A = this chain, B = another copy of it.
Amino acid sequence: MAKKYVYFFGGEKADGNGGMKNLLGGKGANLAEMAGHKDLRLPVPPGFTITTEVCTYYYNNKKSYPEGIKQQLAQAMKKVEKLMGKKFGDAGNPLLVSVRSGARKSMPGMMETVLNVGLTTKTIPGLIKQTQGNERFVYDAYRRLIMMYSDVVMEKAAGIELKDDESGIRKQLEKIMSGMKKNKGITSDVDLDAEDLKKLCELFKQRVKEALKKDFPDNADAQLWGGIGAVFSSWNGKRAISYRRIEGIPDEWGTAVNVQTMVFGNLGSSSATGVGFTRNPGNGENQFYGEYLINAQGEDVVAGIRTPAPINRYSQSEHNKDLPVLEIEMPKIYSQLVSIRNRLERHYHDMQDIEFTIENNRLFMLQTRMGKRNGPAAVRMAYEMYKSKMISDKEAVSRVTPDQLDELLHPIIDPAAEKKQQPLVKGLPAGPGGASGQIVFSAVDAVKWAKEGKTVILVREETNPEDVEGMRAAVAILTARGGMTSHAALVARGWGKCCVVGCGSLSVDYERKQLSVDNKTLNEGDWITLNGSKGTVYEGRLPMISASEENKVLNDFLKICDRIRKLKVRTNADTPEDSRRALAFGAEGIGLFRTEHMFYGKGADKPLFYLRKMIMSVDVSERSKALEELFPFVKSDIKKTLEVMQGLPVTIRLLDPPLHEFVPREQEQRAELANSLNINIEKLNKRADSLHESNPMMGHRGVRLGVTYPEISRMQIRAILEAAAELLKQGLKVNPEIMIPVVGEVGELQHQFVVAKEVYQEVLKKYNLKKVPHSFGTMIEIPRAALLADRLATVAEFFSFGTNDLTQMGFGFSRDDLGAFLPDYLKSGILSDDPFQTIDQAGIGQLIEMGINRGRKARPGLKVGICGEHGGDPRSIDFCHRAGMDYVSCSPFRIPIARLAAAQAVLK
């Protein structure tokens, strides 16, 4: 027997089921599940799915089909015909079908669809009969078929080059249609009557033949196979490939094809079509949310051409509040939908994205799938489903991706500033957060300007799949038309990108590159600011603030994460302000406090002067004197942060950069410095030049400074311990950890440990204390340190992996000089990731694992963490968990993500 290529569904039965996504695609599997699963048995229009294996076969065999498929298809079609009591291609009682794509993973709008397949000169009369003589509907359906089919099958799939906007067949046909409307003096399609449409169909067919040198097929089977082929072809269309590249979908997956009975939402005022979400995908509220259009086909909703009406009061908004509510218009249908909605959530334990059609007061479910949601919605749904026991804590944690969480942490417009500002225009809140950018009016310009380093907002009448790359390049998207389920909204939500759609009062002039609202006009390059969470648009640049730490649902959700995760989460912070913010985000300590940070930024003038004085010293006594002057600044700096952290561990790294980093390079500044240090400029130049290094990354820095100038370490350790002692004396808790950087050999640690012990005794004596809690540890950032971690652990009480430098030295990659070749490496696939973004587990990961295992062998219970930038990267956090670290440390804003990623690591 031949392999099964065609899977039937319908009439509460199905050959497949929801688990067969790889074979049937997401849509096909769900149709099977909806139709066939005993808990659901939804009113799905019957049809069948042609498997993804056929797609693979199609591409491997010069676009031909496997043997036996025709017979299987015919059999499935028979079942459909039987259920519907109609016959495909039959003159008297014709069955019409849709032909749609359906890949494993949803690729909204990226592939082709053909509707009304089976409508021919032969079947038209039968359909007119079926629709009680609704000729207008039938010829409208026919003209839609011709437009869609000639574009998708006859032009695109056939590879005919008419594709630019003006010459494409679709545009040509649209022009004929507008011409007719203009001649008749009407503006809306619905004002064309049956005769107009009948005439239009003839004009369309003539033009198709002229332009494409081929007759429009007047045979149902030919139409069907043409449609199937076009869907398979569209898998390798330019848009689909570009989308796959962005989303990381493998080319070899292929798409399935779903052939399904046509049901019509456009059969008059008792018909409609709609889409919905079982919960609000924009904020996660547990409310049925949806939109519909009376007397319309499904693509009218998705395309955003007409503003859809709300299905219920909850779905009402400023811009659709005057439109008829389904719940009121068709209460029975609505309650049937609500019941389906509840069944779906019970069955799938997750929010579903559904499509439905009402044909003459009869409800059909066209699709259900896991609903895309933005970050805030993902967090809220996960938390509430967990609270209502729909899902477990582990399930809840795995429902939110780190990227989604990141959306909650996106910058927003400063509310104070926003309050004072009058919006330019209002639309739908389609993507989270706030964004300011310069206006551009085409995807091409968005990409171009972004490449030039500009921050742009893409403004379009509406977006379409051709715009995807431009949408990617923009920081935000603004459209004049379309609803929450329009292309722009779907895409932006998927990416968590700030987006406002459906600003009805906005008009866009592509030619002049202008947008206007009322009598206000803005030009290309002007700045605007969007609030994607509210749907408001402002002129100019509004100040942004980081996402609020005060998000109760987020905090509750993160507490679930906290109960699951094993890794502690600390922060990298150098100031009391950062430390406070980090605490609010849930930091459990500071993993990296860089002492040198006090020499940068505001208020650094004085300490920097003493540091430079120290650097310019020529002997120990001069140096010690300068260090003595520097000491109070260092102590006070450390003390403030220790105080904020209230006894949580604070890892303080001793001076790390080479000294020449602090010496001015320009002669003018040097002269000034020489003057204020009261030394000769030649002397200063000589000393400064002697500090120059060929490879400063691997030069005289970190512990190497501490060994050469023990007095520098001594001063810093004294500052740490005295700060701690003084806070202790005030009755506060302290937990400083002294961390030595750039260590490669245990002798270095021993050397510094001796200094630390001496200073400790002095401090105890000075403050008359028995003990000042502290520990002594090392960075592991030199490859040799990882190799000899067992030796280091004999002295170090903790390890902190400095994965930035470990990656630099492990790869021999200078991060400053990487730009010359890393792009080539990523492009050619030699490296799959920038190793400074996510830990190179294959190579550098070995050093980390070695370091941990050997360190713990020598000192069981050795505390181990990471303080490189990788500490905020979810994949790296997963690795750190598996490697057995005690904590990760990251920037304050990454803490929530780290908490989530640490919990997800446990679940893997």
Q: Which residues of A contact B (CB under 8 A)?
A: 693-700, 704, 707-708, 742, 744-745, 747-748, 750-751, 781-784, 787-788, 791, 805, 808-814, 816-817, 820-821, 824-825, 828-831, 840, 842-844, 846-847
Contacts and interface: CB of A to CB of B under 8 A. Distances in A.
A328 B778 CA distance: 75
A275 to B, nearest CB: 44
13 contacts: A693-B814, A696-B814, A697-B812, A700-B821, A704-B820, A707-B821, A745-B843, A747-B825, A782-B811, A783-B809, A784-B810, A787-B810, A791-B842
Given A707-B825, A821-B707, A814 B698 contact: yes
B782 A812 contact: yes
A739 to B, nearest CB: 16
A695 B784 CA distance: 19
A783 B810 contact: yes
A831 B744 CA distance: 11
Given A695-B817, A830-B747, A787 B846 contact: yes
B814 A694 contact: yes
* Most interface-central of A812, A821, A824 (chain B CB within 10 A): A812
A843 B844 CA distance: 16
A455 to B, nearest CB: 25
Given A784-B811, A843-B744, A843-B787, A830 B698 contact: no
Given A693-B817, A698-B814, 8 more contacts: A704-B820, A707-B825, A744-B813, A745-B831, A784-B810, A784-B840, A787-B810, A787-B843
Contacts of A817: 693-696, 698-700
Q: Which 8 A-B pairs have the closest CB atoms?
A: A747-B830, A695-B814, A698-B814, A694-B816, A699-B817, A784-B843, A700-B820, A693-B817
Given A747-B830, A830-B745, A847 B814 contact: no
Contacts of A697: 694-695, 698, 812, 814
Contacts of A693: 814, 816-817, 820
A209 to B, nearest CB: 46
A810 B708 CA distance: 21
A449 to B, nearest CB: 23
Nearest to A844: B784
A810 B781 CA distance: 10
A272 B226 CA distance: 121
Given A707-B828, A747-B829, A783 B812 contact: yes
A846 B704 CA distance: 23
A751 B846 CA distance: 24
Nearest to A821: B704
A765 B453 CA distance: 48
A698 B700 contact: no
A741 to B, nearest CB: 11
Nearest to A743: B812
Given A821-B708, A842-B788, A748 B812 contact: no
Nearest to A845: B787
Nearest to A812: B782
* Most interface-central of A699, A842, A846 (chain B CB within 10 A): A699
A742 B812 contact: yes
A886 B560 CA distance: 58
Contacts of A742: 812
Nearest to A749: B830
A744 B812 contact: yes
Nearest to A692: B817
A787 B807 CA distance: 13
Nearest to A830: B747
A805 B814 contact: no
* Most interface-central of A707, A781, A821, A840 (chain B CB within 10 A): A821
A198 to B, nearest CB: 59
A698 B813 contact: yes
* Most interface-central of A694, A783, A808, A820 (chain B CB within 10 A): A783
Nearest to A690: B820
Nearest to A807: B784
Contact of A699 (B810, B814, B830): B814
A744 B808 CA distance: 12
A691 to B, nearest CB: 8
Contacts of A843: 744-745, 784, 787-788
Contacts of A808: 698
A76 to B, nearest CB: 46
A844 B816 CA distance: 25
A812 B811 CA distance: 12
Contact of A828 (B694, B700, B751, B810): B751
A488 to B, nearest CB: 37
Contacts of A782: 810-812
A805 B695 CA distance: 13
Nearest to A783: B783
Nearest to A832: B747
Contacts of A825: 707, 747
* Most interface-central of A788, A817, A824 (chain B CB within 10 A): A817
Nearest to A843: B784
Contacts of A744: 811-813, 843
A388 to B, nearest CB: 49
A809 to B, nearest CB: 5
Contacts of A787: 810, 843, 846-847
A820 B698 contact: no
A791 B695 CA distance: 29
Contacts of A694: 696-697, 814, 816-817
A812 B821 contact: no
Contacts of A813: 698, 744
A41 to B, nearest CB: 52
A747 B833 CA distance: 13
A623 to B, nearest CB: 15
Contacts of A809: 698, 783, 809-810, 812
A422 to B, nearest CB: 47
A830 B745 CA distance: 8
Contacts of A828: 707, 747, 751
Contacts of A831: 745, 747
A847 B783 contact: yes
A598 to B, nearest CB: 24
A748 B828 CA distance: 10
A816 B694 CA distance: 6
A700 B823 CA distance: 12
Contact of A698 (B695, B784, B844): B695
B699 A820 contact: yes
B751 A830 contact: yes
Contacts of A816: 693-695
A231 to B, nearest CB: 35
Contact of A812 (B698, B747, B788, B830): B698
A118 B172 CA distance: 130
A752 to B, nearest CB: 10
A181 to B, nearest CB: 52
Contact of A708 (B783, B791, B811, B820): B820
A813 B745 CA distance: 12
Contacts of A820: 693, 699-700, 704, 708
A808 B788 CA distance: 16
